[in-house]
Structure 1
């Protein structure tokens, strides 16, 4: 009987020790993850950022159109939004140098959206590289220097896209909150979609002509997000952060 109790006591101590170790291991993992930048990536290769650890990042894609970008810029200025990131296609920037200049003057960051707004998952790596570099050449002609961020034009990317971006010294930026403004679901739904954002989120919006309701949704979006943290551009959001990854095949 005494032997039985001794064995059980030892067993209970072992179980208790395992539980304690497991608890602290889980706590360390949780702490590391909550202070990290969330990324997609290959196991040992380059990664695409989709979430940061501070602020809220408004990002706008512009691939085409002559009408929507300027009113959106004016609305951001009216609402005193001093930080945002605009991903521009090179073809659009080439046709609208005055709007590129306005984006820079308002203090917003510019990222590369490729040149021709093509799906990179349908392209060979060298073609992707050429498309990115063609856009970069346009930015340099427009005195936009040090473009360090890339967004895959259609939002689709794979490990080859990541490798090309990395070889060019670019960080591929996805998003964690999709406004779905390009589907024109109505101002209220756009605001509701973005209203889910939390600290560290990168929000996808559009300033192309296909997004007809974004301008009207912006005032409510901005008011909603101001309570969740300061607006910040993507580069500042992801600086000095450790990365965790989800595997991209």
Structure 2
């Protein structure tokens, strides 16, 4: 026995819409599993600082290597940049106590970049707590105490991370201007990325060995930013002296 299905134009149109809707739903769920999207949450939940009201905060991440940090410190001194915040990996600090001492001696602020290179959104709460606590302990052994700022090693964090940081007495700091210097796109590109900074911005740069062009870009960056008449402050000063802006993360 043969069966025949008769489809009219209206039925075909409905089936097509159902298939398209199913495709986009599946695609959205797929992307959602890979992309961390900042979303607004309850006002009473901990937040991450990403921007201030005035001045500029220059920040550097260091997670590995011993070749680029010192030249960058030399250039900052030559350019008379007396204020910046360095987010340091605890493991890196243990391996390079002399460079940590130099950063402190030069008057720069230190924040945590965790201990290991861990994506806090992909691990359990206890592992996040352990990583941050281990980093704090590493700096205490180096006689650097009262660290109040932290940044996620991979840049990814969630509400779970913020709650753990708050319990440890840490404020999470993100950024509003990304130099993308770790991709080594060329000195001119790095300068262009940073020179768009405005009052209140927190600038992300790197002093790890992966950032091979950062040192060469700094003089031109300083020249462009000084044209705007903005003062450089560390992140703590920006938080204290201005109404900092936050992002609420679920």
What TM-score bracket applies, with the shorter chain setting the length?
0.7 to 0.9
The corresponding residue for 1:128 is 128
Q: Is the 8 A contact 1:62 1:87 kept in 2?
A: yes
CA–CA distance in structure 2, aligned partners of residues 40 and 151 of structure 1: 18
Q: Is it true that 1:208 corresponds to 2:208 in the alignment?
A: yes
The corresponding residue for 1:239 is 240
Q: CA deviation at 1:242?
A: 4.2
Q: CA deviation at 1:117?
A: 1.6
Q: Is it true that 1:224 corresponds to 2:216 in the alignment?
A: no
Change beyond 3 A, Cα 1:47–1:40: farther
The corresponding residue for 1:166 is 166
Q: What's the TM-score, normalizing by structure 1?
A: 0.81
The corresponding residue for 1:9 is none
The corresponding residue for 1:108 is 108
Q: Is it true that 1:42 corresponds to 2:44 in the alignment?
A: no
Deviations 1:188-220 (A, max 9, x none): 000000011001100000000001000000001
Q: Is it true that 1:190 corresponds to 2:190 in the alignment?
A: yes
Question: For residues 47-196 of structure 1, what are the structure 2 equivalents within 5 Å?
Answer: 47-196=47-196
Change beyond 3 A, Cα 1:142–1:52: same
Deviations 1:75-103 (A, max 9, x none): 10111100000000000000000000000
The corresponding residue for 2:29 is none
Q: CA deviation at 1:169?
A: 1.1
**In structure 2, the residue corresponding to 1:59 is in which secondary structure?**
strand
Q: CA deviation at 1:40?
A: 7.7
Q: Is the 8 A contact 1:41 1:47 kept in 2?
A: no
Q: CA deviation at 1:243?
A: 5.4
What RMSD, in angstroms, separates the aligned Cα atoms of the two structures? 1.5
The corresponding residue for 1:16 is none
Q: CA deviation at 1:119?
A: 0.6
CA–CA distance in structure 2, aligned partners of residues 151 and 140 of structure 1: 18
Q: CA deviation at 1:245?
A: 4.6
**In structure 2, the residue corresponding to 1:174 is in which secondary structure?**
coil
Question: For residues 11-50 of structure 1, what are the structure 2 equivalents within 5 Å?
Answer: 42-43=41-42, 44-50=44-50
Q: Which runs of 5+ in 2 are unaligned?
A: 1-37
Q: What's the TM-score, normalizing by structure 2?
A: 0.81
CA–CA distance in structure 2, aligned partners of residues 196 and 146 of structure 1: 33
Q: Is the 8 A contact 2:65 2:209 kept in 1?
A: yes
Q: Is the 8 A contact 2:51 2:245 kept in 1?
A: no
Q: Is the 8 A contact 1:40 1:245 kept in 2?
A: no
Q: CA deviation at 1:150?
A: 0.4
Query: In the comparison of the two structures, how many residue pairs are matched?
Result: 211
CA–CA distance in structure 1, aligned partners of residues 188 and 97 of structure 2: 33
